[in-house]
Amino acid sequence: MAIRAEYIWIDGTEPTQKMRSKTKIMKDASNLPIWGFDGSSTNQAPGDKSDCVLQPVFSCPDPIRGGDNILVLCEVLYTDMTPHVTNARAATREWAEKHADKEFLFGIEQEYTFFQGARPLGFPSDGGFPAPQGGYYCGVGADEVFGRDVVESHLEACLDAGLHISGINAEVMPGQWEFQVGPLGTLEVSDELWMARYLLYRIGEEFEVSATLYPKPVRGDWNGAGAHTNFSTKAMRESYQPNIDAAEALGTKVEEHIAVYGFGIEERLTGLHETASYKEYSYGVSDRGASVRIPWQVEKEGKGYIEDRRPNANMDPYKVTARIVETVGDAAK
């Protein structure tokens, strides 16, 4: 029987790229051919040279359609098979290869916010506000959490797809949630994070809520949404000093990192709401007001990983992981 392969790619929308997908009917999944699309409809090509190429790079079972159907994440190429300018994965592949000997692992915490219409889920539709933040983070009860049915359905879909989700939690602002992917290698964590995002949007359709990655969904005294990026090298997992060295290395390339940590980062990294100002760089043990946190267990055990708290929820994991691999990998002896 024929199967349905959902070909998924990242488009050319500015300033933040969106996801697109379309369905290919195939005899079976034994061979995933390249495919094409109209780049003039995705901000990836002019109308008179509209053809772009989809190159499959990662596939998994489709937990929504079930059966033998699959999801297929693709890189976008020009028709001469070189990487499209919107294809950040190609450069990440090169950085991952260059520093393969460091054995980087990443665990990314993806925060997001559900919206129903123009308002976050849990915010009154008359334009008023819910009770101030305090009880929502990891909360329980109909007055504290909004959208748990969607979250549970997303988690199940991710696990059915074989994605390496390591946990979920309700966040500080009502309607805001988080899932974590990893620890995994550089390309693997990025591919799986994009796939988990796709499933989040797709599952949202079923519940008629939209999942958004806006970094500062509500102005004022409401937490923004980030994508804390935890990472380690083999050396960091074996002793303490390489963790400090990595934190120091990040401090030598502050602007280069902020530039790829997601559009609107200035609005989120204000120095309030568990963030450090994007203008200053700091790191510290257990410090959730620092740019980079060294978890207390890492200090206690004398080895582990560190957490870059700066990336926005709307960041591209290909760009963030590649930048970290470049900075930390190049600095490591």
- What is the residue whose two structure tokens read 């700066």? 310
The rounded distance, in Å, linking the Cα atoms of 122 and 142 is: 10
Q: Which residues lie near ligand ADP (CB under 6 A)?
A: 105-107, 109, 166-167, 180, 182-183, 228, 230-232, 237, 304-305, 307
Where b means 16+ CB within 10 Å and e means fewer, 165-199 reads beebebbbbbbbbbbbbbbbbbbbbbbbbbbbbbb
Q: Which is nearer to ligand ADP, 26 or 246 (CB)?
A: 246
- DSSP class of residue 3 equals E
Q: Which does 105 bind (CB under 5 to 8 A by kind): Mn ion, ligand ADP, none?
A: ligand ADP
Question: At 306, which helix (H) or strand (E)?
Answer: strand 306-308
Out of 6, 11, 75, 109, the residue judged to bind Mn ion by CB under 5 A: 109
- The closest residue (CB) to ligand ADP is 107
**Residue 166 interface partner, choices ligand ADP, Mn ion, none, CB cut-off 5-8 Å depending on type:** ligand ADP
Smallest gap, in angstroms, from Cβ of residue 36 to ligand ADP?
35
Q: Which two tokens stand for residue 11?
A: 């488009």
Closest CA to 213 of 322, 318, 319, 114: 114
* Residue whose CB is less far from ligand ADP, 106 or 112: 106
Between 86 and 229, CB nearer to Mn ion: 229
Nearer to ligand ADP, 216 or 228 (CB): 228
CA dihedral 249, 310, 108, 304 (to 10 degrees): 40
Report in angstroms how near the CB of residue 81 gets to Mn ion at its nearest: 39
In the bound complex, what is the minimum distance in angstroms from residue 272's beta carbon to Mn ion?
A: 16
Residues that bind Mn ion (CB under 5 A): 109, 178, 228
